[in-house]
Amino acid sequence: MTERVPVFDQCFFCSADLPPLDPAALPAQERLAFDPGLGRLWRVCPQCARWNPVPLEDRWEVLEACERRARDDGDLLLAGDHLALYQVERGQLVRVGDPPRVDFADWRYSERLDEFPVRRPGWIERLLRLPELPVGRQDLDAGWVDPGRLQVGGIPSAWVGRPFIEHGSLLTALFAEVPLAESCPSCHGPLLVDPPAFADTRLLLEARGPALVAVCGLCAVESPVPLEQARPALRAALGIVERADRGMGLVRTAARPVERAGGPAPFIHQLAHRELDIGSMASRDRLAFWICLDEQAEAEALEAEWRRAEELSSIFDRDLTNVPGFEEFRARMLGGGLPQ
């Protein structure tokens, strides 16, 4: 008879095996999440990504180990308003609470990424791994280019003299599959962007917030769409055009104004006030813009996971304020008085 696996070693939602309760022994890319302020600890399921609360009796020493590991040995990968993601050994720790503002961009965008596995949507990862080719006859297969528009040498006339011509093949592959927004404000069809015109898309600030202005490939009308709607395609496109400019010095230079502004949202507002098109932005600003969009998207996804987990934990824990020793534990965790 096989030994029964304890219920708390399996995911509540999909029954997959959960990560070990040891931040130093986490397998590659598996996660523990912890909240030192509320004394909560979760094991993040590697199969369904749901957060599983750890029972009270199993969490105290692990919480202290997580805080120490993140503080002393962790490399910050992502900082949001409420969460911070750290690389520790092969695994990752999610710390709930006000994350420290440090220079973490080089972990995510410089050449160090070439040897570091990052969680990205599969099709974007595959696209960014394709070899870089200048635009040419291969774009005829994507359906964007009229053979009658070809110049001598096989370069489509729409690309001649345009920014990002060296990335033309990848931009064509992207925009042949992904619209800039699901709905054009003018024709209500998908807002398709002609790849050579991507450089002309313009960031500006409307009353409702930042927006991206682009010419729809279906109706030829220039329309603004909220930046949030354009973010998936824009993240991929900026990743393509900026992937060659990932020297650690440039990445840090791009990240500093984001930190000075107070984070991604304030920086994007400042950039939108200048009403620049993507092609005329300085490379540093485009790289910073990409960093901001990435951080916003991933922080929102991580925060959504946390909020779902927090609802379950509130039920699971009821109220810890009357648990003997909890306030002393909380003061020790947040006051930096961890045992050495």
**Do 191 and 142 fall into the same domain?**
yes
**Do 104 and 142 fall into the same domain?**
no
Residue pLDDT, tens place only, 205-214: 999 999 999 9
Within a domain: 325: yes
- Residue 200, pLDDT > 90, answer yes
* C-alpha dihedral, 274 to 280 to 286 to 288, nearest 10°: -40
**Do 123 and 236 fall into the same domain?**
yes
- Residue 315, pLDDT > 80, answer no
Count the Cβ atoms, other than its own, within 10 Å of residue 100. 12
Question: Domain containing 157: what range?
Answer: 111-245
**Do 101 and 193 fall into the same domain?**
no
Count the Cβ atoms, other than its own, within 10 Å of residue 323. 13
Percent of the chain whose predicted confidence (pLDDT) is above 70 = 70
Radius of gyration of the chain (CA): 23
Residue range 278-289: mean pLDDT, rounded = 92
**Do 159 and 210 fall into the same domain?**
yes
In the chain, the number of structural domains is 2
Q: Which residues contact 260 (CB under 8 A, 6 or more apart)?
A: none
**Do 214 and 118 fall into the same domain?**
yes
**Do 235 and 115 fall into the same domain?**
yes
pLDDT band at 115 (very low <50, low <70, confident <90, very high): very low
- For the question of whether the overall pTM of this predicted structure is more than 0.85, the answer is no
Distances (CA, A) of 286 to 198, 209, 212, 283, 293: 13, 19, 14, 5, 11
Q: What is the pLDDT of residue 140?
A: 36
Give the tokens for residue 155: 């370069």
List the single range of 55-59, 133-137, 184-188, 303-307 with lowest mean pLDDT.
133-137
Residue range 8-30: mean pLDDT, rounded = 88
List the single range of 64-73, 246-255, 289-298 with lowest mean pLDDT.
246-255
pLDDT mean across residues, the chain: 76
**Do 45 and 122 fall into the same domain?**
no
Q: Residue 17 pairs with which residues in a beta bridge?
A: 10
C-alpha to C-alpha distance for 212 and 218, rounded to whole angstroms: 17
- Order across the sheet with 75-79: list the strands: 51-53, 40-44, 31-35, 91-96, 83-88, 75-79
**Do 232 and 329 fall into the same domain?**
no
Q: What is the pLDDT of residue 5?
A: 39
Residue pLDDT, tens place only, 123-158: 455 555 555 555 544 443 444 444 334 444 566 778
